[in-house]
Structure 1
Amino acid sequence: MIKKFFKDGLIYIIPTILSRGISFFLLPIYTRYFSPSEYGFIDLLSALYVVLALVLPLEVSQAVSRLMADEKNAESKSELVSTAFWFTFCVFAVFGVFAMLIPQVIAQALDGDLRHVTAVRIAGLAMPLNALLYAVQNQLRWSLAAKSSSIVGLVFTFVTATVTVTLLVLFDMGVEAVVIGQAVGSFIGLCVGISSARKHIPLIFSFQISRLKHLLNFSMPLVLSSATYYGATFADRWMLKTFMSMEDVGIYAVALKISSVVGIIISSAQMALSPLVYSRYKLPETPGDINRLFGYFLLFALSLLCTLGLVAETLIEIMTDASYHQASGLIVLLSSAVIFSGAYVFAPGLSIAKKTKQIATISISVMLINLSLNYLFIPLYGRMGAALATLTGSIFLFLLFVFLAGRYYSIPYNWFKYILSIIIVTIFLLYGMIAGFSGVMVIPYVLVLLSLCLLLINSEDKQKIWCELVRKGGRNNI
């Protein structure tokens, strides 16, 4: 399982790095062509799509991920994923018509005025295409076709970036350029994805009510869970808009974009681990393997967090316009929140046991915590208050998942090592920031930290890694 995790994780992490690299390439362009207010609108529009992508299809993609493994043959699997795909198409088609006919309602809700009505109307086409692309990518993931899923993601990112930059720089189209880029990228990525799916579990013109009921029986309790989870995730942006301004949303969104570098580790771990857990959770060695993988995850995530925290101010100054430089103070808190909010994947007990109601309860609890803290902190501390509320909510999310999941699928976590490593990183990071470490000074500092955090890896794994390095070194000498 561990070898398969790293193999698939590497396949996923390469396109993720490339995708995030392209996003970083776009950030300096965006922050020079868009004011913080315009960038804030783009971020809120993206947040709206993420929530709709979960709520409108009633989370059938999550049902596919869990139920496809129970299907006995390729034909039944194809019927299952096709039913989910066409259901997603139908519900988003209705939303697309709504967005194109009365975009004023959505524009008013997002921005408080009608400046971006055209962008909302175009989003009525882009969002359905993106939802279908997401469904196809998930289908490839659950088919364990990691390479195909990654290629589809790369095609989408490259086409979206190319079209967006062309329309923005050469034609000065403004916010509309971003939405058109998303629409074109989603369409081409969807075509590539459907073609790739034919080699694994092909999509067919099949929509079976019985299968839809089977999917919805599993997914319906997750709708409230996911809606509240993402409601909590995006509560900071919405409440910043309410209590502060759209400019604050834009600055905060830039800090989130930089913090998403840590998401490279999160996304790769989630995409590689979940299919493996669902297919191998009955094996006796799987709980121990999950614990070991969690140690590797923390090793890389904490090292990346420390590096990012030390170079945050310099990175913001290089990559953004002066109007966004206040974002640097938010990056450490938001990066930490990204780590905690994604680490729950290493506590899969509730999903394995199909305890969707408990998952929903966790999400509702975290949403209430997040909303309450944002309501209290933002009027007092502004953007910093939103970041603190987000981090606190993420920590609660992780702890609740670990506590409740252990009742159904016990994993022997090495908590002493994990907590000690987090304390070490916190001390090193605070000292480095106070001492003003930057530039090349960061490299040896992080290397020392990395060597200390090696205690996250057990002695057996260290020995295997060392033997592998010696073996490969011997081959090279020959």
Structure 2
Amino acid sequence: MIKEFFKNVSIYGILPVVGKFLNFLLIPLYAKVFAPEEFGIIELLDTLIFFLLIIASFEIPTALGRYYYDDKDIKYKSEIISTGLFLTIIITLVICAISCFFENTILLYYVGNTDSYILYRLSLLWLALMSINTYLSFIPRYDNRPKLYVIVGIISNTIKLISSLGFVVILDLGLPGVFYGYICGNTVSIIMYYFLSKRYIRLVFCFKYSNKILNYVIPLLPGVLIAGLWLPLLRWYAMLWFPLFVIGYYGFTSRLTSVNSIVHGAFGIAWTPMMFEKKNEIIVGDRIRQISGLVFIFSAFIGIILSLFSPELTLIIGSEKYVGCIRLVPFVAFAGTIKVLTQLRGFGPYISDKTQYISIIQVVSVIVCSLIFFTFKDLYGLYGLGLIAVLYELLNYLLCLFYTKKMYHVRLYYIWELVFILFFITSSVCIHFQSSLILRSLASLILFITTGIIVYRTYRKHISNFLRTCNLN
């Protein structure tokens, strides 16, 4: 199972690598062209749209994955896919209409002014296209056509990059040019995914399957909405007590640590279909612990390196205007690592059809973190923002882990994971006290040696089998 998982990762990983790299290329452009306050507006609207995307997509792709493998008949697959697509379109149009109706209210209380109405309307068009694109992108993944999925994704991201450069730099359209680029990329992607999946898509709407889909997603949706609400809520909290440029800092930090999202994206994309298709196998033996442990090593290693060298990376990729954000990097990187672990180890509610527990966990996490933020917001400043981001992901992780262990009695973690947590803390201390490049390089060398020892001691049997296979070939 580990071999199959990493084979899928090697294919699916190409898209996050290329996609994140292309998105990474936009960071210097945005940092040079836009002030931190303008970066803050982009971050606010991006976060809002991704939250609305959660509502618009209604977790229908997840339900599709749950029922896609129940029957191999082409007619069954066609009916359930087409029904899911029309449900997605209907819900998306409703969400866009409601968002248009409350345009002034949302702009005034979330962005802070109503001057950004053009950007807001462009972002809603992007939302509509992205919702349809997201649903269609799951079909080749569930249909075991990862290479075609990756090719379409690469083309889409390339067009997004080129069009963004054209609109922002050549045509000098400013902030609207960013969203024109998003719209172009998603439009091309929809067309290509449609041609990949057109044998399944028909003018069919089956009420039996729509009820089946809705019965699965409705208990799950409140938790997913709460999870999606957390990011815009965190930005809104920051806007209440910090200047707008702090949100720009957070946005820049998120994009800087997006290098680590390459790992998260590859593993997440490969894991979702496998979680449903092989749900009876992942709860047997030590498989899930071995897979998630290796994912943790990759994610933590990259996150710690990014944290240790964040001052240099910020100056290379951005400018001196963004140096103030480096204190956030260890926290955002660590939060991302915890998030991908939750996805891998917190599978219990999904495969047991107890998705209401996801909702309960998310509600508890948001309430606890909001109360802590309001209580201690004046004590820790920017560090408080980072700590809350980590605490939210940590609560989700621990609660999902508890349910999965109680439900399936599987081993999920290693004791050596505490070593990497210690390295994250060390990187944060180094940044806080502005340690020299030599000292931080020494810390990275120790990290490299420690990681090698842990990988060898934990996975030496798998390494030996892999080398033996290579010699035979």
On whether the aligned pair clears a TM of 0.5, the verdict is: yes
Distance 1:82 1:138 in 2: 13
8 A Cα contact 1:28 1:320, kept in partner: yes
Residue 143 of structure 1 is matched in structure 2 by 143
SS of structure 2 residue aligned to 1:202: coil
Deviation at 1:20, TM superposition (A): 1.1
Distance 2:277 2:180 in 1: 39
Distance 2:70 2:257 in 1: 37
Deviation at 1:233, TM superposition (A): 3.5
Residue 11 of structure 2 is matched in structure 1 by 11
Residue 20 of structure 2 is matched in structure 1 by 20
SS of structure 1 residue aligned to 2:286: helix
Seen in structure 2, the aligned counterparts of structure 1 residues 256 and 64 have a Cα distance that, compared at 3 Å, is: same
Residue 381 of structure 1 is matched in structure 2 by 380
Distance 1:428 1:321 in 2: 21
2:166 counterpart letter in structure 1: T
User: How many residues end up aligned between the 2 structures?
Assistant: 470
Distance 1:215 1:71 in 2: 15
Residue 294 of structure 2 is matched in structure 1 by 296
1:168 counterpart letter in structure 2: V
Distance 2:304 2:146 in 1: 29
Deviation at 1:316, TM superposition (A): 0.4
Seen in structure 2, the aligned counterparts of structure 1 residues 414 and 391 have a Cα distance that, compared at 3 Å, is: closer
1:129 counterpart letter in structure 2: L
Distance 1:227 1:456 in 2: 41
Residue 463 of structure 1 is matched in structure 2 by 464
8 A Cα contact 1:88 1:131, kept in partner: yes
Residue 81 of structure 1 is matched in structure 2 by 81
Residue 230 of structure 1 is matched in structure 2 by 228
Deviation at 1:282, TM superposition (A): 1.7
Task: For 1:90-239, list aligned pairs within 5 A.
Answer: 90-99=90-99, 103-198=103-198, 202-239=200-237
8 A Cα contact 2:24 2:259, kept in partner: no
8 A Cα contact 1:418 1:456, kept in partner: no
Task: For 1:269-348, list aligned pairs within 5 A.
Answer: 269-283=267-281, 286-347=284-345, 348=347
Residue 43 of structure 2 is matched in structure 1 by 43
Deviation at 1:16, TM superposition (A): 0.6
Distance 1:437 1:235 in 2: 39
Deviation at 1:444, TM superposition (A): 4.2
Name structure 2 gaps, 5 residues minimum: none
Residue 360 of structure 1 is matched in structure 2 by 359
Give the structure-1-normalised TM-score.
Answer: 0.91
Residue 419 of structure 1 is matched in structure 2 by 418
Deviation at 1:56, TM superposition (A): 3.1
Residue 437 of structure 2 is matched in structure 1 by 436
Seen in structure 2, the aligned counterparts of structure 1 residues 414 and 467 have a Cα distance that, compared at 3 Å, is: farther
Seen in structure 2, the aligned counterparts of structure 1 residues 450 and 55 have a Cα distance that, compared at 3 Å, is: same
8 A Cα contact 1:54 1:226, kept in partner: yes
CA RMSD of the aligned region, Å?
A: 2.4
Deviation at 1:30, TM superposition (A): 0.6
Percent identity of paired positions between Structure 1 and Structure 2: 19
Q: What are the superposed Cα offsets for residues 289-311 of structure 1, whole Å, 9 maximum, x if unpaired? A: 21111121122112212211221
Residue 238 of structure 2 is matched in structure 1 by 240
Distance 2:284 2:9 in 1: 17
Deviation at 1:352, TM superposition (A): 0.9
1:171 counterpart letter in structure 2: L
Q: Does 1:256 align with 2:254?
A: yes
Distance 1:285 1:220 in 2: 25
Deviation at 1:184, TM superposition (A): 1.3
Distance 2:438 2:307 in 1: 10
1:161 counterpart letter in structure 2: L
1:247 counterpart letter in structure 2: F
Deviation at 1:456, TM superposition (A): 6.4
Seen in structure 2, the aligned counterparts of structure 1 residues 412 and 172 have a Cα distance that, compared at 3 Å, is: same
Give the structure-2-normalised TM-score.
Answer: 0.92
Residue range with higher mean Cα deviation, 33-42 or 376-385: 376-385
8 A Cα contact 1:5 1:272, kept in partner: yes
Deviation at 1:363, TM superposition (A): 0.9
Residue 398 of structure 2 is matched in structure 1 by 399
Residue 452 of structure 2 is matched in structure 1 by 451
SS of structure 2 residue aligned to 1:56: helix
Distance 1:304 1:185 in 2: 28
Seen in structure 2, the aligned counterparts of structure 1 residues 208 and 410 have a Cα distance that, compared at 3 Å, is: same
SS of structure 1 residue aligned to 2:205: coil
8 A Cα contact 1:340 1:394, kept in partner: yes
1:154 counterpart letter in structure 2: I
Deviation at 1:228, TM superposition (A): 0.8
8 A Cα contact 2:54 2:225, kept in partner: yes
Distance 2:39 2:321 in 1: 12
SS of structure 2 residue aligned to 1:406: helix
Deviation at 1:239, TM superposition (A): 0.6
1:228 counterpart letter in structure 2: I
Residue range with higher mean Cα deviation, 434-443 or 307-316: 434-443
Distance 1:137 1:246 in 2: 35
8 A Cα contact 1:122 1:179, kept in partner: yes
Residue range with higher mean Cα deviation, 248-257 or 31-40: 31-40
SS of structure 2 residue aligned to 1:70: coil
Distance 1:324 1:251 in 2: 6
Deviation at 1:414, TM superposition (A): 4.6
Distance 2:215 2:26 in 1: 41
Deviation at 1:330, TM superposition (A): 0.8
Seen in structure 2, the aligned counterparts of structure 1 residues 40 and 427 have a Cα distance that, compared at 3 Å, is: closer
Q: What are the superposed Cα offsets for residues 67-123 of structure 1, whole Å, 9 maximum, x if unpaired? A: 212234121112112111111112222333455677434332332212211111222
Deviation at 1:426, TM superposition (A): 4.8
Distance 1:103 1:125 in 2: 13
Seen in structure 2, the aligned counterparts of structure 1 residues 384 and 427 have a Cα distance that, compared at 3 Å, is: closer
Seen in structure 2, the aligned counterparts of structure 1 residues 460 and 418 have a Cα distance that, compared at 3 Å, is: same
Residue 389 of structure 2 is matched in structure 1 by 390
8 A Cα contact 1:287 1:411, kept in partner: yes
